[in-house]
Structure 1
């Protein structure tokens, strides 16, 4: 496959090399053979190291398990086409394989995407946990599914894997087996480890490390030839030499020696303990035994794999000793990672398999022993695949039917914020998760209610099933991100802990009860400070909907700054199209007292992500409910990864209704133009004297806008004196900075400028990837933000044939807490001048008002930015001729600077 992919005839000039990893595939050949041919079921899941994915494709080709999306099998011609299509682009009219395991492959069933080393093995562990969680909560998932992960020995140094190692053992993930393809080589060449300090080879270190972390360890060092020699006289010395004396680097060097006499003489000279053994052993036997690794003994591997399944409480690691490049001329060579075989070697391999002519791929004859075995084995796996798909369909029908019992899901969880002083969005998160927790643990049968429990209201009943499906988790920040009610006495965990605090009478009832259990009411996963683990876990749980039809709704919280610690896992989740909610809170420099390092908010734009940053608590309510509804109804394609960015700065919630009720569109029976009571305009109506719609009516309209990405909070359209192109500006504010934008708008109105405030709830929907997909339709057409040119006569020139006019558009100022890239493309999208106020330097400690001023995000800075873009817009000129520019004798004009029109003490000089 790899050779053919690199020798296509349609190569274009400048194309990069196709590449591939034959040596890495050969290293894993027998490991994957044991899995595919002897051990795995169609319910098992596999994470293979990226470089060995062609090995899986080859086995699935032989097993006739290359499948279409409807699970029908590819024809032989289509299968051959796929084998020819490794790393080939397709428009969907032919089957191909991606470079690494992918959902686009025709054998993708229960394979984890494998493009990023160190992450798929962790996903396998948390998928195993998700299966157990689902089963313990009464949901139907495949029984006895096992989770396998093959990784390279260099990959095993990835921090993501070591972060997960103690977690999997503590959670007693017994149906997880990692297989270490221990070939002693990495991408750059031979692995050189410090044997003296590590106390042996890296395999020895791994064994001790994993055993110390509660894992079962199985070493598969030796093949049958070695075992036979061990049984002979002096054979124990040879075994001791291989296991205790020989370093990995020395072994790699010896594997490159093909002169039998030189090999034997070198061993005799350097290892005197082997002299008797070498004297009694033929040169050829010594040569073959040296490279007879257990990782290429399929039966030994299968035995070890079956042994690993016996452990029900401990995960297992199998250290399979292998030869990188097994069976190839590049075996054990220093630079063999990406080396390709020559055509003569390919021909030699074809000849050994009896493949003739132009055929590159061939299955065994159906009537041969091999063909019959492969057919029977393939059909057994295929039956499991279809059974899992049938279970998924059954689960999907069950949940959709169950969800419909109480009608459509309401748009809100109806959290009352009116009695709370200056609540913040992180507080609201706690209220929403607490209510879901209460609803999930309240019986619909009122006769079963516990003392103090209230019956569910009609609005709450539709949330009963989503509440039961809801699970939350955090990397040791559950209490500090307001998840206390979801945690209290509801920790899901296998670890048996005697509640000694309660027995001694010293338990603090005001703090969350963190003693774990596995009751159906336990729906919180507690973690140490391990952001990568939690991100992988939330992705695995979020994938249960697509794999087995159980739409578990996972939510994780993480301090927004530390989202970067798990960015690789986050990308993996989005690429994998997992459906989950990640809450970055608190976020940005708004968490000002905590200081500089935690304040940087990155502009994360990745396909399949939708980012929300609400200001009012009611916005978060709508957003959360919408995300839950879309998840359970499988209605979130292209946006299944939800990122909520929240803050701990309180906001006056009454401002929401206060400013909405001032808008002309929400006035009842309005005739004429409006004016603000503080600034009356002749002939206009005082807006306070015109009744507004009810809050519920206004919210019904605004909710739709919130969920589309932005809405007008302050809107002066319909006000007297409102002159676009003269005294109108649009302020786009996101998150905590909405408060500053409101103050700036009021200050500007006092100066005769109508500053609309558009609250951005989702930069992705307004200006990001999702917006780009529909050419920013909502921004341009539904919000009505455009680059219309408003012409006003400026001065006459000569006979009047030519006049100069001020061509003014409505400029934009954006303000948000984070990197500029979150909103700095608004002006270019619309086609107007924009000033983007964002965080462009490291922060300090202080209260929000001080920090906002330090970063020029405060209301005064917004006012200045508005003055700047209004003035710059006013300086634009358009030349118009009555004779269609036929006689354009343009007059010269002095170039002006915007500060001439908006003087400020802060401008000491003009640029």
Structure 2
């Protein structure tokens, strides 16, 4: 196992001047992409295109130094959203991006507004855009890579540092640290051993609207340090450090460090004479500071005041050399927002654009032609040779294709007695280890401290808990301990703290290993269903970025009667219906859980794969009511219907109403059908397993989507079209569209208000999803 020294990490670096030339060209190209999108490209609608020239400029030195001196092929970088043009500019100089794309920023089919693994034409390691999510993604990427290497071996083609394959960098804006999800990730105890994690904070002290008065680097440093991170601060560049070494320099240093952020930012907009007046201040050391700067050349004075460490290539190089790779590292780099642009340091420069005249001024200062902005360096120039050497050093081998192992469609057993859909989850996973061990090896479960209460205890006992190193189980010899917590690199369950955003962030990266390293995994995350909404944004973003996973929300709905409104989910069924890149299921019976879970696992870890969401319940249900066919062909037909979205549970001759029920309320639906028959109203009962799949089938039948519509013919044949009652433990609109299949009269029952505490019967009655309410709705819709 080899180790990469700091010197090795900059083996292709030049003499410094060529790196400086590259930084200026990156500044120019990133600025030009945004300028072209807003000032040159036709915009017939007149709608704002946008872009962030100032946010790009503050990152230019950091990213140039990182790419052209530090990165190795095994490293991965998450780029802050607003700096995407800087990434594209670097990729262009490295020959990874065709010139034709430089005029397509934020246009249809062109460069995306924010870095996108799925949609950009050049190399993007992490999709970013939703503030905070991209910052934390490399943490979960590091954990995922360690899991893959521990179970399936390391990628020997990637250089290794201190036992891991490549660093995981996050380039983070300081305002991005306002996101609570960032700190949930930073303080998670499971990451303290992940030395490959390196964050670089662009400390420009500005947000969208203003200079933030209380962004204090020291406070941030203490927070990272308290979490066990190595903290490296890059405050000042060489020009300022030279001034600090002179008489009066200590006073100048103290004055700048103690200065409020807005006051310092105002200095950046001042002439040399104004700096000489404002900088000394009114403190006891004002005279010493005034004397120090009195005779400085005007240009040197104005350059020095903005000579912060995040723009000094030597200071950045020294900071990178101090990374010790034994624990996570954060580099806090002081920067100027808009550095090098006419708008630098202005409090409202976040989304401001250079005028045509300002753009021409920038071109003159760089000796470039604004009419021909896309030039690369001459191949024989020092900068051109450095670009070529860097491109060669960072070249990655293509990710090998790896087909996931086969997943069975049916374990073959028929559940009996009384059971819950939640308990069926754990049993199916254990069955998978026996029936398909190769597939089971790819399963990794994740939970936020709810493994036992979501029925994963048996699975965890069997496969163990993952950690980056072996840990002793001090309760392993305790006879009263039912759930065994054996931790080591071979474990297949990961448990984070009570932070759902961390869980789904990890799920997204575990679900992307097939595309990153050619090793498909089957990640299954379990959380209480009421908290799915809390986790939805980062999970959705993970799906957008290509992370395929299964999210299990359990227990769910107002069926959690005793828990009250705080723990009763209402909107999650419609979330499952509406989430792109995801197939949702709410099974009513244990066998439905098995079939839908296995089908969902089989869709993971492949280029055409998709994620899934299963909404499960703790309500015991008589499994004989599933009436599973005993004939093998009929059983397979039922299984296909379950996976496709639903199946007829009760068919009666002369039916005059259809009850379509989903999940936990299937018991009430069946009871309602029996009672209706006693008053002469014959009811069919449909068990809906996936409203999303049925909606897609309906769209396909109408020519508005791609897919098959056969399930509609079997579930809702036109010759059995009757008035319909839909019912579920969730928002009623989730199933309301079913009446449009055959255009029948309908009533939709469900939960549209916050829940109540009570018994199951009381709560169901309160929300009108009880048997009486279903019977009444059926009588109304059939006009009996």
Other-structure match for 2:4: none
Residue number among 124, 127, 138 corresponding to 2:141 in the alignment: 127
Distance 1:542 1:625, change over 3 A: same
- Contact in 1 for aligned 2:118/2:546 (Cα 8 Å): no
Measured after TM superposition, the shift of residue 647 of structure 1 is 0.1
State TM-score, norm by structure 2. 0.89
Whole-angstrom distance in 2 between the partners of 1:359 and 1:422: 74
Match for residue 706 of structure 1?
642
Matched, 1:335 2:348: yes
Paired residues of 2:733 and 2:748 also in contact (CA < 8 A)? no
Equivalent of 1:565, from 534, 538, 544?
Answer: 534
Q: Look up the match of 2:47.
A: 16
Regions of 4+ moved over 6 Å: none
Partner residue, 1:49: 80
Counterpart of 2:664 in structure 1 is: 736
Q: Residues 765-776 of structure 1: matches in 2 within 5 Å?
A: 765-767=693-695, 771=699, 773-774=705-706
Secondary structure of the 1:757 match is strand
CA separation of 1:105/1:577 partners in 2, compared to 1, >3 Å: closer, same or farther?
closer
Indicate how the Cα distance of structure 1 residues 509 and 753 shifts in structure 2: closer, same or farther if over 3 A, else same: same
Whole-Å separation in 2 of the counterparts to 1:841 and 1:19: 40
Q: Distance in 1 between matches of 2:697 and 2:173?
A: 35
Within the candidate set 107, 115, 122, 2:129 is matched to 115
Offset, 1:125: 0.4
Distance across 2 between alignment mates of 1:833 and 1:500: 62
SS at match of 1:643: strand
Is the contact made by 1:472 and 1:486 (CA closer than 8 Å) also made in structure 2? Answer: no
1:353 to partner: Cα distance: 3.6
Q: Does the 8 A contact of 1:609 with 1:642 survive in 2? A: yes
- What is the rounded CA distance, in whole Å, between the counterparts of 1:609 and 1:501 in structure 2? 39
Which residue is equivalent to 2:168?
147
Corresponding residue of 1:492 = 466
Matched residue, 2:687: 759
Q: Which has the higher contact order (CA 8 A, sep 6+)?
A: 2
Is residue 446–residue 524 contact of structure 2 (8 Å, CA) maintained in 1?
yes
Alignment match of 2:614 (pick from 625, 640, 644): 644
Q: Tell me, yes or no, if structure 1 residue 474 matches structure 2 residue 447.
A: yes
TM-superposition CA deviations, 1:282-334 (whole Å, max 9, x none): 343443222101000123223323432x322x101110100001111111111
Taking the aligned partners of 1:311 and 1:274, their CA distance within structure 2 comes to 43
Given that 1:102 and 1:108 are in contact with CA atoms closer than 8 Å, whether structure 2 keeps it comes out as no
Change (3 A) 1:501 1:429: closer
How far, CA to CA, are the matches of 1:559 and 1:108 in structure 2? 38
Post-superposition offset of 1:235: 2.1
**Which among 844, 851, 855 is matched to residue 767 of structure 2?**
855
Deviations 1:540-593 (Å, cap 9, x if unpaired)? 101111221111111111100101111211211221131111100001111212
Contact conserved, 2:96 with 2:123, CA < 8 A, in 1?
Answer: no
Q: What is the match of residue 277 of structure 2?
A: 265
- The 1:636–1:588 alpha-carbon spacing in structure 2 relative to 1, beyond 3 Å, is farther
Deviations along 1:462-517, one digit per CA (max 9) or x if unpaired, are x1111111111111111100111233381212467554556xx7x35433223532
1:577 maps to which residue?
Answer: 546
TM-aligned CA distance change 1:547 to 1:9, over 3 Å: closer
Contact kept in structure 2, 1:175 and 1:311, CA below 8 Å: yes
Seen in structure 2, the aligned counterparts of structure 1 residues 870 and 416 have a Cα distance that, compared at 3 Å, is: closer
The residue that corresponds to 1:88 in the other structure is 107
Question: Residue deviations 1:344-389, cap 9 Å, x none?
Answer: 12122223444337312110111211112112211322x22xx1x2
Residues 78 and 171, structure 2, Cα contact 8 Å, conserved in 1: yes
Partner of 2:224: 210
Change (3 A) 1:865 1:476: same
Q: Give 3-state SS (helix, strand or coil) of 1:280's partner.
A: helix
Match of 1:629 in 2: 602
Aligned residues of 1:497 and 1:515 also touching (Cα < 8 A) = yes
SS of match in other structure, 2:246: coil
| 1:366 matched to 2:379 | yes
Distance in 2 between the 1:464 and 1:738 partners? 34
Cα distance in 1 between the residues matched to 2:42 and 2:118: 22
Q: For 1:764 and 1:8, locate their aligned partners in 2 and report how far apart those are by CA, in whole Å.
A: 43
Partner Cα distance (1:549, 1:770) in 2:
36
Distance 1:214 1:514 in 2: 24
- Equivalences for residues 93-108 of structure 1 within 5 A: 96-108=110-122
Normalising by structure 1, we get a TM-score of: 0.77
| Shift, 1:775, TM fit | 7.9
Displacement after TM superposition at 1:168 (Å): 6.0
Matched, 1:191 2:161: no
Separation in structure 1 between the aligned mates of residue 475 and residue 589 of structure 2, nearest angstrom:
40
Q: 2 CA distance for matches of 1:110 and 1:132?
A: 21
Which secondary structure does the structure 2 equivalent of 1:272 belong to? coil
Q: Distance in 2 between matches of 1:643 and 1:223?
A: 51
Q: Shift of the alpha carbon at 1:779?
A: 5.1
Equivalent residue for 1:555, pick from 524, 539, 555: 524
What is the DSSP-based 3-state SS (H/G/I as helix, E as strand, rest coil) of the residue aligned with 2:347?
A: coil
| 1:842 paired residue number | 754
Separation in 1, partners of 2:641, 2:579? 23
Asked if the contact 1:611/1:644 (under 8 Å) is kept, the reply is yes
1:545 matched to 2:514: yes
Contact 2:34 2:105 in 1 (8 A): yes
Cα deviation, residue 275, structure 1:
2.4
Task: Provide closer, same or farther for how the CA distance between residues 775 and 316 of structure 1 changes in structure 2, counting only shifts above 3 A.
Answer: closer
Deviation at 1:106, TM superposition (A): 4.4
- Structure 1 residues 323 and 269 mapped into 2: Cα distance closer, same or farther (>3 Å)? closer
Q: Secondary structure at the match of 2:280?
A: helix
Match of 2:411 among 410, 413, 431: 413
Match of 2:24 in 1: none
Q: Which residue of 1 aligns with 2:676?
A: 748
Question: 2:459 & 2:236 partners in 1: Cα distance?
Answer: 51
Query: Equivalences for 1:287-686 in 2 at 5 Å?
Result: 287-308=302-323, 310-312=324-326, 314-356=327-369, 358-381=371-394, 383-384=395-396, 387=397, 389-390=398-399, 392-393=400-401, 396=402, 403=405, 409-415=407-413, 417-418=415-416, 421-436=417-432, 439=433, 460=435, 463-488=436-461, 490-494=464-468, 497-501=471-475, 507=478, 509-514=480-485, 516-518=487-489, 520=490, 522-602=491-571, 603-604=574-575, 605-632=578-605, 634=606, 636-637=608-609, 640-657=610-627
